[in-house]
Amino acid sequence: MGIPVRVTQTMTPLSFDDRPIAKRVGLVILATDHTTEPDFQRMVASSRIGLYTARIPYANPTTPENLRRMQPGLTTGAGLILPSEDLDAVVYSCTSASVVIGDDEIEAAIKAAKPGVPVITPPLAAVRALRELDAKRISVLTPYTIETSMPMLAYFSAKGFEIARFTCFGLEDDREMARIKPASLVAAAVEAAAPDSDALFISCTAMRAAIAVPEIEAGLGKPVVTSNLATAWATLRLCGENEPRPELGRLMTLPMSGW
């Protein structure tokens, strides 16, 4: 055997950045989610913005009762993202649960673990997006059952939007929603958009709708907002990223007037 190698500690001075990446975005997503992380990697992540994910328990079917059951896990999930370190935003990536539980309740649960952080929910981001697009009369497309879609109809009506048409697929499993081909979503969106509506909102973070937005907008000649597109847009703006990205859709060319 050779002479043992000694381990020595260098005395070379080290310098440190305040953060490894300038901006930190927390994603609180469902255990069954297939879509949020790929969408955010494509639309949000960069050398300046890092994504940090926690998954919380969720069991299908997608009913109002099952959606409400996620609320107790929100504080624990948010607390697992870079414990004791500040975040620049936290996204709770479930549209239907945000509507059923309530934006304020979700914000309170997340801020219990991450005080002071801006909390983004998909329906609230969609409302901000539709207002920036000056949309007042909208069409809505969801993958849910009629029962789970009804709270969504009530939510957007209460926010002051006139609903021109509301269409749903009748699906109960978010993993099945994630498997819908984008081409099918394009065809369904064209059918779901009322001719006299100002914009189309496609709900559900599980669906791969954001990637289809440019094609849908080209076919409809009107703006399209999806759950993941809206939350990605709001996240970028909160992180100070305001460069227009028209290749992602009309929304990504607009600023955000506060949060």
Interacting residues of 233 by C-beta distance below 8 A, sequence separation 6+? 125, 129, 251, 252, 254, 256
What are the angstrom distances between the C-alpha of 78 and each of 81, 232, 238?
A: 6, 18, 18
What's the token pair of residue 53?
A: 């994910």
Task: Tell me if 39 is assigned to some domain.
Answer: yes
Residues 153 and 134 in one domain: yes
What's the token pair of residue 22?
A: 């300038």
As for how many domains the chain has, the answer is: 2
Residues 102 and 55 in one domain: yes
Task: Tell me if 254 is assigned to some domain.
Answer: no
Q: Report how far Cα 232 is from the mean position of its chain's Cα atoms.
A: 6
Residues 235 and 111 in one domain: yes
Task: Tell me if 259 is assigned to some domain.
Answer: no
Q: How many CB atoms lie within 10 A of CB 246?
A: 10
10-residue mean pLDDT series, the chain (259 residues): 86 95 98 98 98 97 93 96 97 97 97 97 98 98 97 98 98 97 97 98 98 98 98 98 97 93
Domain carrying residue 65: 23-121+230-243
The predicted model scores a pTM of 0.95
Task: Tell me if 99 is assigned to some domain.
Answer: yes
**8-state DSSP, 70:** T
Residues 115 and 150 in one domain: no
Residues 195 and 163 in one domain: yes
Residues 110 and 142 in one domain: no
Task: Tell me if 109 is assigned to some domain.
Answer: yes
Q: How would you class 59 by CB atoms within 10 Å of its CB: exposed for 0-12, middle for 13-18, buried for 19 or more? A: exposed
Task: Tell me if 8 is assigned to some domain.
Answer: no
Q: What is the pLDDT of residue 66?
A: 93
Q: Which amino acid is at 37?
A: E
Buried-exposed string 99-132: b where 16+ CB fall within 10 A, e elsewhere: bbbbbeebbebbbebbeebbbbbbbbbbbbbbeb
Strand partners, 138: 163, 199
- Give the CATH number, domain containing residue 204: 3.40.50.12500
Q: What is the pLDDT of residue 127?
A: 98
Tokens 């310098």 found at: 15
Q: What is the pLDDT of residue 1?
A: 63
Residues 136 and 82 in one domain: no
Q: What is the pLDDT of residue 195?
A: 97
Residues 172 and 52 in one domain: no
- Number of separate helices (H) and strands (E) present in the chain: 11, 8
Task: Tell me if 3 is assigned to some domain.
Answer: no
Residues 172 and 94 in one domain: no
Task: Tell me if 194 is assigned to some domain.
Answer: yes
Q: Which amino acid is at 144?
A: Y
Residues 62 and 184 in one domain: no
